[in-house]
Every structure is written in structure tokens, then in C-alpha cells.
Chain A
């Protein structure tokens, strides 16, 4: 009952984006995929979600992603895309309900309200999606995904959250909120795969980090083991120093020290 990626290669036309990558992720943990732009991390999560053709094999709870039916996968995992557009004037609650379209939990409509409440948008049910801020829209989409895979663990096995840069358009308070939701999902027995840009949040919330560079896995392990000067400097192509405070007087703010004012 894991996510197993075995020797996959993804090509966009003649360009090889991921080459011979093998990785694993277990439920009960937040697995973060980090790496510079163009390293193939978004491509990797798209392959895991079954959006792209690839060679090699990806299995989720033993189900082959390439051959599974869309509704089978929908019962196993929810996917939060990097950016979402919406064509018609749906209300926030209606967007969340679309997430309940299929899967074993379809038609549990009270869940849509609960999912909105969980992302801190309880009062937003009848607001137009297009009139919400970018961060609010992102959280509505997260609520849609949560509604789809509401129980992290089921009798048939764990369920998975696939998050492609879930906090990229959020302010720091909401970044912490969303990452906490992801961590709670994992603590409750579900699996979380998140493509992350923010290394501090990754260090704070990830149980396992996959560092990618140029379409390959550079390092894999616990944040304390993987997030080192050497690995990060090689991955990002610039000199990085972990756990080093700046010596001048420019202020810096780390999410590590943040404390929520009031639980939402």
C-alpha cells in the first residue's frame, strides 16, 4: 500500500524531462518533491496522477496508474493542480461539490460544507468563485480535493493527496494552514505527495523529501538528512547554506517561528 515509481522516463517530444527515476512514498507521511524550475518535479507529479504518458511503472496501492480507470484512481487520490481556471460562474460550494462527482463517497453533500470549513472558508459557500482572491480560489480547490478523498484511510487502504505547489499563491498564515491540513491528512493514515517551492516549509512539514535536478533524483530521505549545503547547492546551482543566520541587519522571517493567532 504505497506509491511506487519504478524506472520511469517522460518525454515531451524529443526532450527527455525525466529519465529513469525510481522513488517510493509511504502513507502516513508527507513526501515533498523539491528542485529548481525545470527539474521535472511538476512532470513527476503529473505522471503519478496519470496525466502524462511515460515508460516504466507507477503503482498506487498496487494499482497500475497507466491502466486504471479514471473512477478507480479518483477513489484513491485527489489532485490539486498548480493553477485552475473555471469557465462558468459557479459558487464556491458548487465547485467543491463537483469533487464529489464520482468515487465511493459520491453524493455526500454535507461533506462539501465541511470541506470548505476545513480550509477556513466556511462563510464563502455562496460566493462566486471568480470573485475570490487567488489564495481563496486555491483553498476552494483544496476543499474540492479534500471532499473527494475525505477519509485518509479506508478499509481498502490509504488514500492520497497529490498537491502541485499547494501554497504558491498563499500568504504565510494560509501556507501554514494548508500545510497543516496536509500533515493532518498524513497523520490520519493518508499519503501526501506535494511539489514544493518553499524550502523552509518543506523542512517544517515534510517527513520525506525527494530532491530533483535535471530530470533525476538527486537525493531522497528525511529533511534533516537531505537538506544539506551540498545537496541543495548542487540541485539549485547556487551556493546555499542551511541553518545559517545572516550576519547583517536585514530582517528575515521563518515559518518555523510562526504561531497561529486563532485556530480557524
Chain B
């Protein structure tokens, strides 16, 4: 009999199998999302036309290629960024309740984005030339980065993170970032105010290829970095001292994790505003299902985050069609009860 038969059933192996199922589900949901919308263009006939080499009508081409496709891709990018940003942040803070949206990192990233929108005219020419379309996501990244570092410094003493301090500091940080953002909004002119309002709704409604190009590279970098963090975050779960004892370069893991959280959150916030709860619900569901090992968890979080956000976007589009609901409302309505449930159920498990 093979030795493997006697080994305990591995949750990691199950998590690896889940990669495939989530990827399959993600493809199906993506195709579904392309078929749903305010206009009477359906994907089936259009795909058939593409397959048979027949030309699409102008209407079909515009709706599919210029409206639904960038929106789908932006949804995939933002959903995976939010879920992975949440999972990495929870690993870094050693706490399943850490979430960029809850502890002020999104607010910090938002402040960066607002600064870029309002003060873009004051930026030196060379800066705007280098940054180009990516100025807002880059500014959001720096805002998120600064808030993550600040939060970590405040809430971590001798390698242990205090949850109470983290949540309270997050509230203070969020309030401060909100106040500074308010000042900038007050300073802004009418056109900027319109930009800010649309941006603040937390929606994929303004999706365009330009936004995909602006946020895509930063999110891709964050996702790649996150995939290298699995081992390090597993070690950090035992505390910083033990992580070092088992041979990890703790400073490097922490630095990379902070950059990853900032990049994922910053880019997501910059293109879609604040969309809550994906970052906390997705990693939690996955930990319940296939365990907390970060190596498969981060990949599954990217897949499930993208899946849920695209699904939420479909709901946001159809529920009061032809108008649409801000997606942040959909994720909050679905996510907030799950968050409360985590709090109540895990009181004993979480080391408060």
C-alpha cells in the first residue's frame, strides 16, 4: 500500500483542485456578463457571427468591444486586486479582520487619487508626462502605501499586532484621510467635482480601455508579487520572531506585502472608487473551505474575488435596469452580514 494512503488528507491539495473549478466558473461568469446589459445585444448571435466570419453590426461591435469588454476586464482586475489585497493585508497583520476598506487604507488611497485629480494642474510638466494616464492610480498607490506603513507602525509592537489598536487607528486614519479629501473637494472646480463624484460612487460604470490600461499593469504587478508571498505570510502567521527563526527574511516579506496591499488597493480604488467587503469576505470563505495556507489561498482569492465582483456588477446592472446601482451597495449588502457573522463565529478563534 502506498505511504500516501496513510497521510492525512491535505487541505492544500484540495485548494489546488479548487484553482481549476474557480477558473472555470470565472470564464462562465465572464461570458454571462458580456451577454447582460441595457441594450438588446446578445452575445450568442454575435459570437456566432465572429465564428462564421460574418461582420458584426456597428452596434454590436460598440456594445461588446467598447462598453462591455472593458467593463468586464476592469471588473476582473478590480475584483482580484481587492480580494488579494485583503488576503495579503490579513496575513501581514495576522488577523482575519484586517481589510483595506475597513482600516483606512482605501481612504488613504482615495486621498491620493483625489489629490491627483484636483491638483493635477499644479503638477510639474515632467511628472504629468512620465505618469500620463496613470497619474491617478500611482497617486492612489502612494496614498495606500503611506497609510499601510503608518497603520502597521502604530498597531504592531515587537512583532505582534494589536487588533484593537489596528481597528481604532484605522478609524482615525480613515477620518483624517476623509477630512483632507473634503478640503480638496472644497477646493475643486466644477469639472473636477464631476470627476470626483463619479469616481466616488464606487462603480465600474465609467469603465473604459483607458482605465484598463491605467490600472492593469499595477494590478498585474501586485498579483505577481502576491503569488511569491505565500510562504512568507504562512511564517508570519506564527509571529515575526518565529518567522525569522524558520529562515524567512521578515523585513523583506513585510515590505513586499505592504507594497502589494498598496498597489492592489490603490489601483482598484483609483479606477472604481471604494468597493467594500470583497477583501474580507473572499479570503474568509476560502479559509473556511480549504484552509489558511497562503500559497493556494492567494491564487484562489484572485479567482474568487474576480468572480464575485463581476457577478456583483451583473446584479448592479440588472436589478434596476436600465439604470444601475453603484456596485459598492451590492457588495456591502451582501458582504456586511458576512463580516458580522465572521466576528461572532470567530470570537474564540481570533487572538484579540
A contacts, CB < 8 Å to B: 49-51, 69-71, 73-75, 78-79, 81, 84-91, 93-95, 98-99, 101-103, 110, 113, 125-126, 130, 148
Counting CB contacts under 8 A, is B3 at the interface? yes
In the bound complex, residues from chain B placing their C-beta under 8 Å from that of A71 are 247-249
The CA of A189 and the CA of B37, in the complex, are separated in Å by 72
17 contacts between A and B (CB under 8 A): A49-B241, A69-B249, A70-B247, A70-B249, A79-B242, A81-B245, A85-B160, A85-B351, A88-B96, A94-B12, A95-B238, A98-B237, A98-B246, A102-B248, A103-B246, A113-B8, A125-B8
Interface-centre pick from A70, A74, A78, A103 (highest chain B CB count, 10 A): A70
Q: Assuming the A-B contacts A70-B249, A73-B247, A95-B238, are A86 and B351 also in contact, with contact meaning beta carbons closer than 8 angstroms in the complex? A: yes
Among A90, A93, A110, contact of B237 (Cβ-Cβ < 8 Å) = A90
Using CB atoms, name the residue of chain A closest to B160.
A85
In the bound complex, residues from chain A placing their C-beta under 8 Å from that of B248 are 70-71, 101-102
Counting CB contacts under 8 A, is B262 at the interface? no
- A79-B242, A102-B247, A103-B247 given; name 20 further pairs at CB < 8 Å: A70-B248, A70-B250, A73-B245, A73-B247, A74-B245, A74-B247, A84-B242, A85-B94, A85-B239, A86-B238, A86-B351, A88-B94, A88-B96, A91-B11, A94-B292, A98-B238, A98-B246, A101-B246, A126-B9, A130-B349
Interface-centre pick from A78, A98, A102, A125 (highest chain B CB count, 10 A): A98
Counting CB contacts under 8 A, is B293 at the interface? yes
The CA of A73 and the CA of B242, in the complex, are separated in Å by 12
Query: By the criterion CB–CB under 8 Å, are A84 and B239 in contact?
Result: yes
Query: By the criterion CB–CB under 8 Å, are B351 and A99 in contact?
Result: no
Counting CB contacts under 8 A, is B287 at the interface? yes
Which 4 residue pairs are nearest across A and B when measured between Cβ atoms? A74-B247, A102-B247, A88-B292, A87-B94
In the bound complex, residues from chain A placing their C-beta under 8 Å from that of B322 are none
Using CB atoms, name the residue of chain A closest to B248.
A70
Q: Which residues of B (132-163) have their CB < 8 Å from a CB of A?
A: 160
A194 → chain B closest CB, angstroms: 15
Q: Which residues of B (98-146) have their CB < 8 Å from a CB of A?
A: none
Query: By the criterion CB–CB under 8 Å, are A94 and B293 in contact?
Result: yes
In the bound complex, residues from chain A placing their C-beta under 8 Å from that of B287 are 88-89
Q: Assuming the A-B contacts A85-B160, A88-B292, are A148 and B9 also in contact, with contact meaning beta carbons closer than 8 angstroms in the complex? A: no
Query: By the criterion CB–CB under 8 Å, are A91 and B291 in contact?
Result: yes
Query: By the criterion CB–CB under 8 Å, are B293 and A130 in contact?
Result: no
Counting CB contacts under 8 A, is B46 at the interface? no
Taking chain B's interface residues, is the majority helix, strand, or loop, or is none over half, making it mixed? loop
In the bound complex, residues from chain B placing their C-beta under 8 Å from that of A113 are 7-8
Counting CB contacts under 8 A, is B234 at the interface? yes
The CA of A84 and the CA of B90, in the complex, are separated in Å by 18
The CA of A78 and the CA of B241, in the complex, are separated in Å by 12
In the bound complex, residues from chain A placing their C-beta under 8 Å from that of B49 are none
The CA of A41 and the CA of B349, in the complex, are separated in Å by 32
Query: By the criterion CB–CB under 8 Å, are A90 and B245 in contact?
Result: no
Query: By the criterion CB–CB under 8 Å, are B246 and A90 in contact?
Result: no
Counting CB contacts under 8 A, is B348 at the interface? yes
Query: By the criterion CB–CB under 8 Å, are B237 and A87 in contact?
Result: yes
The CA of A85 and the CA of B348, in the complex, are separated in Å by 13
A99 → chain B closest CB, angstroms: 6
A244 → chain B closest CB, angstroms: 40
Query: By the criterion CB–CB under 8 Å, are B246 and A74 in contact?
Result: yes
Query: By the criterion CB–CB under 8 Å, are A81 and B247 in contact?
Result: no
Counting CB contacts under 8 A, is B95 at the interface? yes
The CA of A78 and the CA of B291, in the complex, are separated in Å by 25
Q: Assuming the A-B contacts A94-B11, A130-B349, are A70 and B244 also in contact, with contact meaning beta carbons closer than 8 angstroms in the complex? A: yes
The CA of A84 and the CA of B351, in the complex, are separated in Å by 11
Among B231, B238, B249, B291, contact of A89 (Cβ-Cβ < 8 Å) = B291
